[in-house]
Amino acid sequence: MSETFAALANRTRRAILARLVEGEANVNDLAEPFDMTLPAISKHIKVLERAGLVVRGQRAQYRPCSLDAAPLEEISTWAEQYRPIWEARFDRMNDYLTQLQPQDRENVRDA
């Protein structure tokens, strides 16, 4: 899971994953929206591949990249363990707003 988190700790790599939701793409396609060299993009793709987030096709000349979302499910499941914590925080904020007088409440909301 450390490898998945490390792969996701980069805006370009997250943008590549978002692009792959639309379907498979080759390195040139993936490089297109970025002001980056092809080797730089290839390096990002290799990091995503090692983390199991990107799979390369096997066709000889054309090895398109596609998304494997399985590691993202693992990340989501891991983060969801903490849902009671962030919801408790939200509930406390809600209780606080409910306890305020209507006048104060408006001030808080306008702040």
Query: Which residues lie near a copy of itself (CB under 8 A)?
Result: 1-3, 5-6, 8-11, 14, 17, 21, 67-70, 72-73, 75-76, 78-80, 82-83, 85-86, 89
CB of 97 to a copy of itself, least distance (A): 17
Structure tokens at 61: 């000349």
CB nearer to a copy of itself: give 9 or 106. 9
CB nearer to a copy of itself: give 88 or 107. 88
- The one-letter code for the residue type at 90 is F
CB nearer to a copy of itself: give 11 or 103. 11
* H helix runs in 9-101, sequence order: 11-20, 27-31, 38-50, 70-80, 83-99
What CA–CA distance (Å, rounded) separates 99 from 58?
62
CB of 101 to a copy of itself, least distance (A): 27
User: Cα torsion for 10, 15, 16, 17, to the nearest 10°?
Assistant: 90
